[in-house]
Amino acid sequence: MFKMDSPRKVARTGVWLIVLVGVIHLAVILEYFAEAAYVGLLFLANAVGAGISAYGIRRGAGWGWALGTLISVASFVGYIVSRTVGLPRAPGILREGFFDPPGLVSLALEALFIALCLKVIAQRGGAGRNAGFPR
């Protein structure tokens, strides 16, 4: 496994991971707007939030990591829920099943982002103590 010993490398990796999560959601947004408008709006919120999170991480703000984690966890849980119990007024998503390629890539990126955020918290001695990294 590769080692990221520099706070800049860790922050840069976090920025790329969360940006890619947002880009994937933007890439498939029209498909989900067609299924159910509210799902498309959630995908739009995901992409916008990912951009804001990336900006915060880049600026060295702990809230960027927190927002990115919120987005990643919500997206991960949303994917699982939409493929198991389904979403209201969106039966087509349930029929897609778990093996939707963009969804699987997004799940992997979200899991990596969460793991990286946990590393950031551990290195800084807790979420409340300067969780951001300098630029």
Q: How many domains does the chain have?
A: 1
The answer as to whether 100 is a domain residue is: yes
61: Cβ contacts below 8 Å, ≥ 6 apart? 132
- Residue 72's identity, in one-letter code, is S
For residue 129, is it within any domain? no
Each residue's pLDDT, cut to its tens digit, for the chain (135 residues) gives 456 678 899 999 999 999 999 999 999 999 999 999 999 999 999 999 999 999 999 999 999 999 999 999 999 999 999 999 999 999 999 888 899 999 999 999 999 999 999 999 888 776 544 445 544
Domain annotation covers residue 1: no
Residue 116 maps to a domain: yes
CA 79: distance to chain centroid? 12
Residue 131 lies in a domain: no
Q: Is residue 2 part of a domain?
A: no
Give the distance, in angstroms, between the CA of residue 86 and the centroid of all CA atoms in the same chain. Answer: 20
Q: How far apart are CA 37 and CA 57, in angstroms?
A: 30
Per-residue pLDDT tens for 26-42?
999 999 999 999 999 99
* Residue span of the structural domain in which 69 resides: 7-124
**N- to C-terminal Cα separation, the chain:** 25
**Calpha distance 81→61 (Å, rounded):** 31
| Residue 58 counted as domain residue | yes
| Secondary structure letter of residue 87 according to DSSP | B
Kindly report the pTM of this predicted structure: 0.89
